[in-house]
Amino acid sequence: MTLPTYPVETTAPPTAPATAPAAARAQLLNQGSVAQYRQAIAAGVDRVARRVADVDRPGTGVTPAELAPLVDRVDLDRPLGDAGAALDELEDVYLRDAVWFHHPRYLAHLNCPVVIPALLGEAVLSAVNSSLDTWDQSAGATLIERRLIDWTAQRIGLGPDADGVFTSGGSQSNLQALLLAREEACAETLAPAARAELLPRLRVLTSAAGHFSVQKSAKLLGLSPDAVIAVPTDAGRRIRPAAVREEIARCRQAGLVVMAVVGTAGTTDFGSIDPLAELAGICAAAGVWLHVDAAYGCGLLVSPTRRHLLDGIERADSVTVDYHKSFFQPVSSSALLVRDRRMLRHATYHADYLNPARMVEQRIPNQVDKSLQTTRRFDALKLWLTLRVMGPDALGALFDEVVDRAADAWRLVSEDPRFEVVTRSQLSTVVFRYLPTGPGRDLADAANLHAREALAASGLAVVAGTRVDGRHFLKFTLLNPATTVDDVGHVLDLIATHAGRYVHDHATADLTCSVG
C-alpha cells in the first residue's frame, strides 16, 4: 500500500529553536529547582497554618455576588511572578472566605477534618505525580494501592478472590459497581439485539433514603428513566427487606430484570444502615447483585466498638468506601471493592499505546485494567501514610467519637421543646427542625429555611438542610471529634433565635394584614 502524499509547506524554518524563558524553566520541579520548591511549598503551608490557627468561625458567609468580582478581576494573562504575591492574592479570592471543615461548628455535609499524615501524603503524591494507570507510570505506587485494596477487602471480609480499585469518590464507585452489575445482567454472549431489548427492562432497587448517585449512574448506564425503584424504609429509615423481596417478585412478574439491589451502610441524611445480612440473603436467593454503598459508614470498618453494625457487608458483590468521609482523608479518596476480581474485567479495555493485552500475560500490574479512569492520582498514598503513622484503631476511635457525639446531640435536640427530631442515627447525623408553637406553626418550613440561611450568612456555624416527608428540616452531620456538646447547644440556640425571630416577624405581619 502506498501512502498518500500531501503538499509540503515551504515557509522558512525559524533561525533558532524556541527556548522558554529561564524564569519559566525555573518553575519546573527538577534538580535545579528544589530550593524554590521547598520555599514555595513551605510558604503555602505557612499560609494555611496561619488561617487554620486564626479562623474563629467555619465560614464568612460571603455570597457569590460579593466574591465573584474579586475572582473576575484577576487577569490570568498577567502573572504575578512569584509564589508570595500569588498567595497574597489567594488570600482575597479564596483563603479568607473558605469554608473550614476543621472548625467545630461546621456541622453541614459529609466533610471531615483531615489528618496530618494524609496531608503529608498529598504533598508527596502531587510532587512525585505518579499516575496509577500503568506500572510504567507508577511502579511502587501501584503496589501500595493494591495492598490498601487488599487491606480494605479483608476488613470487609470479602474473601480471597476480592479486588478493587481506588476511585475519585463514592459517586464514581457506585457508578462502576452498577456498570459491573449491568454487564453481569447482560451476559457477554447476548446478541446486540437481545441486549438492546434487555436494557430498558433492567431495574435497580435501593432505599428511598439512598444516595442520588444511584439515579445518576442509572442514567449514565443507559437504563430507562424509571430504572431505579425507591424501596420504602422503616421508622429508622432502613430499607424494608420484605418490600425488597416483594419488589423483586413484582418486577419478575412484570417481565423486568432486577440487575442490582443497592443497600446503604450510612444514608446521607439519616446515617441509617440497611439490614445488610437480610439483603444479602434475599439477593443470594434471587440471584441478584448486591452492592453496598458504605461511602459514609465505612468508618465502622476500623471502629473498635461498632464494627458489628456492618455485619452482612462481607456477603456483598461490591462495596463503595469513601475514605474521604469517615477515614479523615482529604478529597479525593474512595474505592470500589468486589468480591470476585473477575468482575472488574467489565471495565477493561486494552490499547496498544498504553496497556496492550500481552502485558496481562506478562503479569504487569496495570491498574487501568480495573478503572474507569485512565490518568489517576495516587490518592492511596494518603491512606497509606495515615495507617503507617496512626494505625486503624486510632482512626476508628476518632470515628467512634463523632458517633458518640451525635448521640449526645440527638439527646440534646430531642429533649429540647423548641425542636422536633426525626430519627436517631446509627452514625453521626441529626435531622431536626425548629417547631414553632401556636399560630406560627404554619411557618415552620419557611422559618427553618430562613434559620439555615441566616446562620450561614453569619458564618458562625454551617448546618445542612433536607426535606423529610415534604417538610423542610435541618441537619447536623458530625464528623469532627473537636465538636463539643456545647458547640451543638450553641448552634441550636442560634437556630432557635433566627427561626423564632422569623416566626415572630411574619406571624405578626400576617396578623396585621388579616386584621387590616
Ligand X SMILES: Cc1ncc(COP(=O)(O)O)c(C=O)c1O
The residues binding ligand X (CB under 6 A) are 110, 169-171, 174, 211, 213, 264, 266, 268, 293, 295-296, 322, 334
Q: How distant, in Å, are the alpha carbons of 4, 14, 19, 67, 463 from that of 11?
A: 22, 9, 20, 48, 64
Please say which residue, 134 or 332, places its beta carbon nearer to ligand X. 332
Q: Under DSSP, is residue 231 helix (H, G, I), strand (E, B) or coil?
A: strand
Please say which residue, 132 or 292, places its beta carbon nearer to ligand X. 292
Whose grid coordinates read 454551617?
462
**What is the closest distance, in whole angstroms, from the C-beta atom of residue 427 to ligand X in the complex?**
10
**What is the closest distance, in whole angstroms, from the C-beta atom of residue 18 to ligand X in the complex?**
42
**What is the closest distance, in whole angstroms, from the C-beta atom of residue 209 to ligand X in the complex?**
9
**What is the closest distance, in whole angstroms, from the C-beta atom of residue 331 to ligand X in the complex?**
8
- For 272, phi and psi rounded to 5 degrees? -85, 150
Asked if residue 490 lies in contact with residue 484, where contact means CB atoms within 8 angstroms, the answer is no
Sorted by sequence, the CB contacts under 8 Å of residue 174 that are 6+ apart come out as 211, 213, 214, 217, 262, 291, 293, 295, 320
Residue nearest to ligand X (CB): 170
**What is the closest distance, in whole angstroms, from the C-beta atom of residue 263 to ligand X in the complex?**
11
**What is the closest distance, in whole angstroms, from the C-beta atom of residue 325 to ligand X in the complex?**
7
Please say which residue, 118 or 443, places its beta carbon nearer to ligand X. 118
Print the SS3 string covering 33-46.
HHHHHHHHHHHHHH
**What is the closest distance, in whole angstroms, from the C-beta atom of residue 421 to ligand X in the complex?**
20
Angle between helices 380-389 and 116-128 (to 10 degrees): 140
- CB-based burial, 5-29: b 16+ in 10 Å, e otherwise: eeeeeeeeeeeeeeeeeeeeeeeee
Please say which residue, 366 or 477, places its beta carbon nearer to ligand X. 477
Helices (H), 221-318: 241-253, 276-286
**What is the closest distance, in whole angstroms, from the C-beta atom of residue 180 to ligand X in the complex?**
16
Please say which residue, 171 or 355, places its beta carbon nearer to ligand X. 171
Region of residue 459 (phi > 0: left; psi between -120 and 50: alpha; otherwise: beta): left
Please say which residue, 51 or 424, places its beta carbon nearer to ligand X. 424
Please say which residue, 61 or 169, places its beta carbon nearer to ligand X. 169
Cell numbers placing 208: 428511598
Please say which residue, 104 or 169, places its beta carbon nearer to ligand X. 169
Q: Is 439 exposed, middle or buried (0-12, 13-18, 19+ CB in 10 A)?
A: exposed
Q: How many CB atoms lie within 10 A of CB 97?
A: 17
